[in-house]
């Protein structure tokens, strides 16, 4: 046992993760006890951490701090940071954040952070880390050995927890938002999509069996890719609109991987002016929607995007709504299934509080503070003037922080006629949602003074369910009616013309993978 003990002890000087994994393997083979593995890992890692502190301390003793202008320039800020709790917190949590431990510990010695505080923080953090790693790793390995499916589930759960927590630990404002993140579980509108839509899976299976086809919703809008359920092009809707109609915002489709000069030439030729909207031609849940205010924004977007894009005029109308339209194939006129009135959240300055603190004081905004912090990260430390209104979001997407309210009281015969006239211009369009910007409630209900931002197909949702006053039961009841209707329309369309639909399974599964595994590199507009 002594040989294994010292191998773990000295191995932790080089690669502590490998040493701990080896210790777990030895424990499960009964070649090393938990106590011996813990002591070996604990002592080795503690000594290694003190070594990092010593390297930094020696650097300061040789006068390196005096040789760099940046240290002289920020001497007071460094001294203040060293004495604050932020330094202690950084030392403690860097243990759990990959890539931060070595620079943090070396910096602690370099700036001569209290040695006794460092030793105390190291002992506590290392003890917790080694204990959790050995116990958790041993349990996971045993679970994999006996119940591999359970072990896989545990790994996925742990991965999601770490994926959520670790990025937030590395930022001061995101760490503050963690105090309120648990509130998301009290309101279903903030639940993860996979959790909320889980009950829809058995409903979809039931409806598929009832209508004898898993792909029945794909027939609902036969001239759209997959009926617009997922993977449809926004341009397939927009190019049908009357360019002279007051409700039409001018739009331009751009091919992927175009260089800046080519795109700029197309923009100038089409007489577009800043600011304007740019977004993926095929996209889900508000991904990549951004306001382009200047050439720098455009260059940045083009560098990060490798997909077809839609460039669209920016609507200056102050309000936004989602109008859900349904028309059975045999009917001459449809009806408005749902209307969502979208509100853009704001905070008001008091002349004393930083913007980040104003967000955390707002009862709703603090629940999803990380969304706003990510978008406004460059201004969180500014102090808005008293009475100054700061918008937290200008994009009408729920996942980007917009507030959705039930707008069923906006329904009117005039609005239905206006929407009907637009829907009839899209060939065989039976099921979808119009996202509109509008001037006022009165003009919208009169069917006037609105502009079409986007049109969605079979993948549309009655988004009024995200109203805070909607119960979970009411939300699922609405979704049940929505999916039942979608299957019925798809069935009716297929019976009329089975060959009419544009079924593209490759596009469907490709977009599904993007929804669940997309890495968000394009921030939504601020």
Backbone angles phi, psi at 324, to 5 degrees: -90, 120
Which is more confidently placed, 181 or 480?
480
pLDDT at 64: 52
List the single range of 110-114, 119-123, 323-327, 385-389 with lowest mean pLDDT: 110-114
Distances in whole angstroms, Cα of residue 492 to Cα of each of 423, 504, 505: 19, 20, 21
Distances in whole angstroms, Cα of residue 146 to Cα of each of 132, 141, 490: 21, 9, 46
Residues constituting the chain = 526
Kindly report whether the global pTM for this prediction surpasses the value 0.85.
Answer: no
pLDDT at 523: 46
The whole-angstrom separation of Cα 137 and Cα 143 is 10
Beta carbons of 339 and 464 less than 8 angstroms apart: yes
pLDDT at 434: 95
pLDDT at 334: 94
Q: What is the mean pLDDT of the chain?
A: 82
**Confidence grade of residue 354 (pLDDT, cut at 50, 70, 90):** very high
Query: In this prediction, what percent of the chain has a pLDDT beyond 70?
Result: 80
Sign of the CA dihedral with 144 first, then 147, 152, and 158 last: negative
pLDDT at 79 over 60: no
List the single range of 81-85, 91-95, 375-379, 384-388 with lowest mean pLDDT: 81-85
pLDDT at 418: 96
pLDDT at 500 over 70: no
pLDDT at 478 over 80: yes
**Confidence grade of residue 92 (pLDDT, cut at 50, 70, 90):** confident
pLDDT at 348 over 80: yes
Q: Estimate the crossing angle of helix 75-83 against helix 85-93, to 10 degrees.
A: 70
CB under 8 Å, gap of 24 or more: what pairs does 515-520 form? 515/193, 515/230, 515/284, 515/285, 516/194, 518/287, 520/287
pLDDT at 70: 46
In tens, the pLDDT along 416-457 reads 999 999 999 998 899 999 999 999 999 999 999 999 999 999
Query: In this prediction, what percent of the chain has a pLDDT beyond 90?
Result: 33
pLDDT at 156: 66
pLDDT at 2: 67
pLDDT at 60: 72
Strands 403-406, 276-280: pairing kind: unpaired
pLDDT at 389: 92
Beta carbons of 407 and 320 less than 8 angstroms apart: no
Distances in whole angstroms, Cα of residue 93 to Cα of each of 171, 323, 349: 11, 47, 32
pLDDT at 285 over 70: no
Instruction: Give residue limits of the domains in the chain.
Output: 2-170, 213-341+401-517
List the single range of 41-50, 81-90, 226-235 with lowest mean pLDDT: 81-90
pLDDT at 152 over 90: no
Structure token pair of residue 296: 């720098």
pLDDT at 7 over 60: yes
**Confidence grade of residue 122 (pLDDT, cut at 50, 70, 90):** confident
pLDDT at 174: 81
In tens, the pLDDT along 404-416 reads 999 999 999 999 9
List the single range of 123-137, 162-176, 483-497 with lowest mean pLDDT: 162-176
CB under 8 Å, gap of 24 or more: what pairs does 379-382 form? 379/355, 380/173, 380/354, 380/355, 380/356, 381/354, 381/355, 381/356, 382/354, 382/355
pLDDT at 57: 82
Helices (H), ranges, 147-223? 148-169, 172-181, 193-196, 200-211
Considering the domain 213-341+401-517 in this protein, what is its CATH number? Answer: 3.30.470
**Confidence grade of residue 137 (pLDDT, cut at 50, 70, 90):** confident
pLDDT at 521: 44
Q: Residue 323, SS3?
A: strand
Beta carbons of 228 and 432 less than 8 angstroms apart: yes
Beta carbons of 49 and 57 less than 8 angstroms apart: no
Backbone angles phi, psi at 426, to 5 degrees: -95, 120
pLDDT at 245: 92
pLDDT at 203 over 90: yes
List the single range of 161-170, 303-312, 445-454 with lowest mean pLDDT: 161-170
């Amino acid at each position: 046992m002594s040989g294994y003990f010292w191998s773990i002890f000295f191995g932790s000087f080089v690669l502590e993760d490998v040493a701990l994994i080896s210790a777990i393997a030895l424990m499960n083979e009964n070649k090393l006890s938990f106590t011996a593995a813990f002591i070996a890992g604990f002592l080795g890692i503690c000594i290694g951490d003190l070594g990092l502190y010593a390297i930094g301390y020696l650097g300061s003793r040789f006068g390196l701090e005096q040789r760099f202008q940046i240290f002289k320039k920020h001497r007071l800020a460094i001294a203040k940071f060293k004495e604050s709790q932020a330094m202690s917190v950084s030392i403690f949590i860097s243990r759990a954040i990959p890539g931060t431990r070595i620079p943090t510990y070396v910096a602690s010695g370099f700036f001569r952070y209290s040695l006794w505080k460092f030793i105390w923080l190291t002992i506590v953090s290392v003890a917790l880390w080694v204990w959790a790693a050995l116990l958790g790793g041993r349990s996971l390995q045993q679970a994999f050995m006996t119940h591999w499916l359970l072990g896989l589930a545990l790994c996925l759960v742990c991965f999601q927890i770490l994926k959520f927590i670790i990025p937030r630990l590395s930022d001061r404002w995101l760490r503050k938002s963690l105090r309120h993140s648990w509130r998301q579980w009290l309101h279903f509108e903030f639940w993860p999509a996979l959790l909320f839509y889980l009950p829809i899976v058995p409903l979809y299976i039931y409806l598929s069996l009832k209508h004898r086809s898993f792909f029945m919703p794909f027939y609902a809008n036969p001239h759209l890719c997959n009926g617009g359920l997922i993977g449809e092009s926004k341009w397939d809707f927009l190019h049908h609109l009357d360019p002279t109609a007051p409700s039409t915002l001018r739009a331009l489709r751009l091919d992927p991987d175009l260089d800046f000069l080519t795109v700029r030439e197309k923009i100038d030729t089409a007489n577009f002016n800043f600011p304007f909207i740019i977004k993926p031609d095929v996209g889900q849940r508000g991904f990549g929607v951004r306001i382009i205010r200047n050439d720098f924004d455009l260059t940045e977007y083009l560098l990060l995007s490798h997909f077809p894009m839609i460039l669209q005029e920016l609507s200056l109308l102050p309000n936004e709504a989602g109008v859900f339209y349904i028309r059975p194939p045999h009917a001459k006129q449809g009806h408005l299934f749902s209307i969502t009135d979208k509100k853009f959240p704001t905070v008001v300055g008091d002349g004393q509080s930083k913007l980040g603190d104003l967000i955390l004081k707002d009862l709703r905004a603090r629940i999803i503070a990380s969304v706003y912090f990510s978008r406004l990260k460059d201004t969180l430390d500014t102090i808005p003037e008293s009475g100054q209104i700061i918008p937290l979001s200008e994009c009408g997407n729920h996942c980007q922080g917009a507030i959705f309210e039930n707008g069923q009281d906006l329904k009117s015969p005039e609005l239905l006629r206006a929407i009907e006239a637009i829907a009839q211009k899209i060939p065989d369009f039976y099921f979808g949602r119009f996202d509109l910007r509008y001037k006022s409630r009165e003009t919208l209900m009169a069917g006037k003074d609105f502009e079409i931002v986007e049109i969605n197909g079979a993948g549309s949702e009655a988004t009024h369910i995200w109203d805070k006053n909607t119960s979970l039961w009411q939300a699922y009841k609405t979704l049940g009616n929505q999916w039942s209707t979608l299957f019925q329309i798809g069935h009716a369309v297929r019976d009329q013309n089975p060959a009419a639909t544009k079924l593209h399974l490759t596009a469907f599964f490709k977009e599904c993978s993007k929804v669940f595994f997309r890495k968000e590199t394009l921030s939504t507009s601020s």
